[in-house]
Amino acid sequence: MRPDYWDDAILSLTQRDPVLNGLIQTHPGITLESRGDAFATLARSIVGQQISVKAAQSVWQKLMAHIQEATPAAIHQAEPEGLRGCGLSGRKVEYLQDLARKFMCGELDATHWQTLDDESLIKDLVKVKGIGRWTAEMFLIFHLMRPDVLPLDDIGLQRAMGRLYNQNQPLSKPDMQKIACNWQPWRSVATWYLWRSLDPVPVAY
Per-residue confidence (pLDDT) for residue 118, from 0 to 100:
97
Q: Domain for residue 116, yes or no?
A: yes
DSSP string, 82-132: HHHTTT--HHHHHHHHHHHHHHHHTSS-GGGGGGS-HHHHHHHHTTSTT--
Q: Are 50 and 126 contained in the same domain?
A: yes
Choose one of 123, 142, 161: the last residue of a domain.
142
Residues 155, 87: one domain? no
Q: Residues 58, 133: one domain?
A: yes
Residue type, 40: A
**Domain final residue, candidates 125, 142, 159:** 142
Label residue 172 left, alpha or beta by phi (over 0 means left) and psi (-120 to 50 means alpha).
beta
* Range 1-12 average pLDDT: 93
Task: Supply the CATH number for residue 77's domain.
Answer: 1.10.340.30
Establish if 205 belongs to a structural domain.
Answer: no
Q: Give 65-115 pLDDT, tens digit per residue.
A: 999 999 999 999 999 999 999 999 999 999 999 999 999 999 888 888 989
Same domain as 69, residue 23: no
What would the pLDDT profile of 23-73 be if each residue is shown by its tens digit?
999 999 889 988 778 999 999 999 998 888 889 999 999 999 999 999 999
DSSP 68: S
**Domain co-membership, 105 together with 171:** no
The verdict on residue 201 lying in a domain is no
With respect to residue 11, please indicate whether it lies within any of the assigned structural domains.
yes
pLDDT tens track for 168-188: 999 999 999 999 999 999 999
DSSP, collapsed to helix, strand or coil, labels residue 153 as: coil
Q: For residue 204, is pLDDT > 80? A: no
pLDDT mean over 16-20: 98
- SS3 at position 183: helix
Specify whether 74 is located in the same domain as 12. Answer: no
Q: In a 10 Å sphere around its CB, with 0-12 CB exposed, 13-18 middle and 19+ buried, how is residue 131 labelled?
A: buried
Residues 59, 136 share a domain: yes
Give residue 152's pLDDT. Answer: 97
Cα angle 85-90-92, degrees, rounded to a multiple of 5: 95
| 86 and 114 housed in the same domain | yes
d(CA 144, CA 146): 5
Q: Classify residue 36 as left (phi > 0), alpha (psi -120 to 50) or beta.
A: left
Q: 202 pLDDT exceeds 90?
A: no
> Is residue 185 reached through a cis peptide bond, with omega within 30 degrees of 0 on the bond before it?
yes
User: CB–CB of 141/151 below 8 Å?
Assistant: yes
Count the domains in the chain: 2
On whether residue 80 sits in a domain, the answer given is: yes
What pLDDT, on the 0 to 100 scale, is given for residue 205?
64
My answer on whether 65 and 130 are in the same domain is: yes
Residues 42 and 28 in one domain: no
- pLDDT digit string, tens, across residues 133-166: 999 999 999 999 999 999 999 999 999 999 999 9
Q: Do residues 45 and 114 share a domain?
A: yes
**Which structural domain, as residue segments, surrounds residue 160?**
6-32+149-196
* Domain annotation covers residue 96: yes
Statement to judge: residues 122 and 45 lie in one domain? yes
